[in-house]
Structure 1
């Protein structure tokens, strides 16, 4: 009986670790989403202009890599809030752009509800079935470079429907990232809840902005 307990103890330890990462990830994710939403609301109400693209890139990647470096310390949590707060700040002007449309409130609310539905649905699917989504790694890598190439092409060529295609591509890309990251947590591929949080947050952010663009284009006023 004692030998059997010892044989099962690694499995119990593994399950405890997975539960801890899941609990901490979704707890921190909920807090950062709320904080980011508050910052976005304040930026929207203050009617702040959208930052220069170089400021956005430097701010995002600088805070992202800082968070990755500090992920094993308490400073990593502070850096996580700095990153998500900055992203919330960039979201404020985007919201103002769509809210200025004739049916802007409907576009924003539709994108918000669809984002929540997609995230909750995909997360529930992986958590319920416990399927290993590691096979999506290649798709995510390829999708990243395809989307970067398409975005560069959109700067130099005026191709009808390209922006809609890019937004749809980001929806698929973000959805795949949510499946992959959630699977990585429950199968032991991700043991750091700070990195899991920012990965899911970025996917949710990109999903929301992409859906905003799609609904805005479909409305005929974008």
Structure 2
């Protein structure tokens, strides 16, 4: 089976090779975002509930934690990525439907989409133009991810027992925006400087950044709205 990335990590990648990884990453990212949006639309039309949406999101995370690392070096990894992004999109359906039920829900969703696009395009363009290395953010991103998961588990557990921490949830969403912005800077920098040679893994990382940006901005805008 043809491999989908360069396995020669002992030698630095040439400019042509890094450009190819970058081009493939953005091409696959565009396709997966479109596929995820389609899955979200189907989920919304079917009226899938929050419980089913959560289950699909958990299955999607299991795919990238346990399956993708074993398949990312082959074309099979592409199928895993599309399954992952489709499940994430379907899981977003109930969330988007909830906001659409609000009086100003459509405006909030459009603002969140616009904000996500501005942040992603702006940060990516900065890295690609300045050609600056952001590998120093690797430690911050790794620690931030662990803190994010810990706080997420805490909030889910508290919600299960009927406790609500509105201030913490708001701070958590703001922190996710900052963390995902750092991840976009780091991942894009890794691609153009040859630190990331697998466009499937790069696409997955950037896709997660975009989705988390969107949902966090959605929450922030929803909290600050009249609703």
Point out where structure 1 has 5 or more consecutive residues left out of the alignment. Answer: 1-9
Q: Are 2:186 and 1:180 equivalent residues in the alignment?
A: yes
What is the CA deviation profile of residues 36-95 of structure 1, one whole-angstrom value per residue up to 9, with x for unaligned ones?
001101111221112358734641232113122111111111111000000000011110
Quick one: distance in 2 between partners of 1:73 and 1:94?
33
TM-score (norm 2): 0.87
Map residues 40-55 of structure 1 onto 2, 5 A cutoff. 40-51=40-51, 55=55
Q: How many residues align?
A: 211
Determine the structure 2 residue equivalent to 1:92.
93
Paired position in structure 1 for 2:3: none
Partner of 1:62: 62
Pair 1:118 & 2:119 matched:
yes
- What residue number does 1:34 align with? 34
For residues 119-134 of structure 1, the aligned pairs below 5 Å read: 119-134=120-135
Q: Deviations over 1:155-183 (max 9, x none)?
A: 43543411110100110111111111000
Indicate conservation of the 8 Å contact 1:99/1:105, yes or no. yes
Whichever of the two has the greater Rg, that structure is 1
Q: TM-score, normalised by structure 1?
A: 0.89
* RMSD (CA atoms): 1.8
Matches of 1:163 and 1:191, distance apart in 2: 36
Change (3 A) 1:45 1:29: same
Say whether 1:201 aligns with 2:202. Answer: no
Conserved? CA contact 1:25–1:194, under 8 Å = yes
